[in-house]
Amino acid sequence: MTQSDSNRATFQRFHEVVNGGDAELIAKAIDNLVRPDVLFHAPVPMGTTGPQAMKQVWEVLLRAFPDIRVTVEDVIAEGDKVVSRNTVTGTHLGEFRGMEPTGRSVTYGEIFIARFEDGRIAELWGVVDVFSQLKQLGAIPA
pLDDT tens, residue by residue, 72-108 = 999 999 999 999 999 999 999 999 989 999 999 999 9
Residue 141 has pLDDT above 90, yes or no: no
pLDDT for res 48: 76
Nearest CA-CA partner of 113 in 87, 84, 88, 86: 84
What CATH class does 3-136 carry? alpha beta
Cα dihedral sign, 49-37-1-4:
positive
**Cα R_g (the chain), whole angstroms:** 15
Q: What is this structure's pTM?
A: 0.91
Say if CB 86 and CB 50 are below 8 A apart: no
